Structure 1
Amino acid sequence: MGDIEELPVLPAGAYTLRRWETGDLHVVREVSADPLIPLITTVPAVYDDAAGRAFVARQWGRPATGQYPFVIARTADGRAVGNAGLRVISADRASVGYWVAPSARGAGAAGAGLRAITDWGLRELGIARLELYVEPWNTGSLRTAESAGYVREGLLRDWQRVGGELKDMLMYAALRRPR
């Protein structure tokens, strides 16, 4: 799975998933100020152009390690509004995640990005199981997961450290062969 060097462009309706570019620094700047995204990603918590460029450059090397970060961009103008990523855990399993900048929330970008990366992971990469973890309070993300075909499997107590504190996570999964 770690042999993909160039990310494909994935159509997602009004959005497109594509490789990160230096022209996407505006979205890194915006989400750096978000209270949650820097806690659960490598987005810098304090933005400056050097930190933003370093974040984008890190994304370019990730496919060699089995991690596939895509920008969620509006198809109409190419403007980045978020991120959808897939991380291979084994030949049969991967985890996915996504985030959308506050200014672009509520317009369907997260769902479009999640559906596109799910389809790519299950069909193109041939992964049998995609996992997604969501904090129980995050109702928007819970709805997004369910609308993209993910099924809630259970509560994982003290599963992930967020901001230095262990948090419960709901586990969702999408299977190549749904049951």
Structure 2
Amino acid sequence: MEQPLHVPELTAGGFSLRPWRLTDLRLVREASEDDYIPLITTVPSPYSELAAVAFIERQWGRASARTGYPFVVVSPDGRPVGNVGLWLRDLEQGRASLGYWVAESARGQGAAVAAVSAVTDWALSELGIPRLELYVEPWNTGSVRTAERAGFQREGLLRGWQQVGADRRDMFMYALLNGER
């Protein structure tokens, strides 16, 4: 049996990243009340403590199953404010994808750029992944800025690429190749 992935602790721009803990229930609650986060993630909505614990256990399971590295983003004052994940589904083809969200109360403070940059640097240098990808809805200007500030380049529009809620949605594809940073 293969060993689970070790989710390391990373830092960037005053923010830190660490594995999920059961003490992160308040973050799951805030994310569950967001209009968008539960549509694009497995964050439970409506919130219940039982569902929130199951969400956190699913994050642990991703590392155990070797499908990815889920991180909690922690602000400089020690408050959990978001999530970033490095997903390895296509690693055999030389690529991995990142997904991220920040709770509404912490948006506009640089958490997403710091988190994506930290995971990107680590994935490229420590894991040696050849290509990293991000998928962003065209209307999501905050996420577009995050991708671009983290060094990703827009490669194109993928029409009807992803199921979001009840609808198929277009996504911009962003990528960063190892050696471009």
Q: TM class, shorter-chain normalised?
A: over 0.9
Supply the distance in 2 between the matched residues of 1:83 and 1:69 (Cα, whole angstroms): 7
Flag the 1:52–1:19 CA change in 2: closer, same or farther, 3 A: same
| 1:22-63 C-alpha deviation (Å, 9 max, x unpaired) | 111101000101111111101001101111111111111111
2:25 alignment partner AA: L
3-state SS of paired residue (2:112): helix
Partner of 2:37: 37
Q: TM-score normalised to the size of structure 2?
A: 0.93
* Mapping 1:90-169, distance limit 5 Å: 90-91=91-92, 92-169=94-171
Supply the distance in 1 between the matched residues of 2:48 and 2:75 (Cα, whole angstroms): 24
Contact kept in structure 2, 1:14 and 1:76, CA below 8 Å: no
Supply the distance in 2 between the matched residues of 1:36 and 1:176 (Cα, whole angstroms): 31
3-state SS of paired residue (2:119): helix
Partner of 1:71: 72
Contact kept in structure 1, 2:4 and 2:66, CA below 8 Å: no
Partner of 1:5: 5
Supply the distance in 1 between the matched residues of 2:67 and 2:83 (Cα, whole angstroms): 16
Q: How big is the shift at 1:90?
A: 1.8
Contact kept in structure 1, 2:5 and 2:69, CA below 8 Å: no
List structure 1 segments (4+ residues) > 2 angstroms apart after TM superposition.
2-6
3-state SS of paired residue (1:153): strand
Flag the 1:122–1:98 CA change in 2: closer, same or farther, 3 A: same
Supply the distance in 1 between the matched residues of 2:8 and 2:117 (Cα, whole angstroms): 15
Q: How big is the shift at 1:4?
A: 4.9
Supply the distance in 2 between the matched residues of 1:122 and 1:151 (Cα, whole angstroms): 15
Q: How big is the shift at 1:3?
A: 5.0
Contact kept in structure 1, 2:32 and 2:46, CA below 8 Å: yes
Gaps in structure 2 of 5+ consecutive residues: none
Q: TM-score normalised to the size of structure 1?
A: 0.94
Contact kept in structure 2, 1:95 and 1:130, CA below 8 Å: yes
3-state SS of paired residue (1:122): helix
**Corresponding residue pairs, total:** 177
1:90 alignment partner AA: L
3-state SS of paired residue (1:29): helix
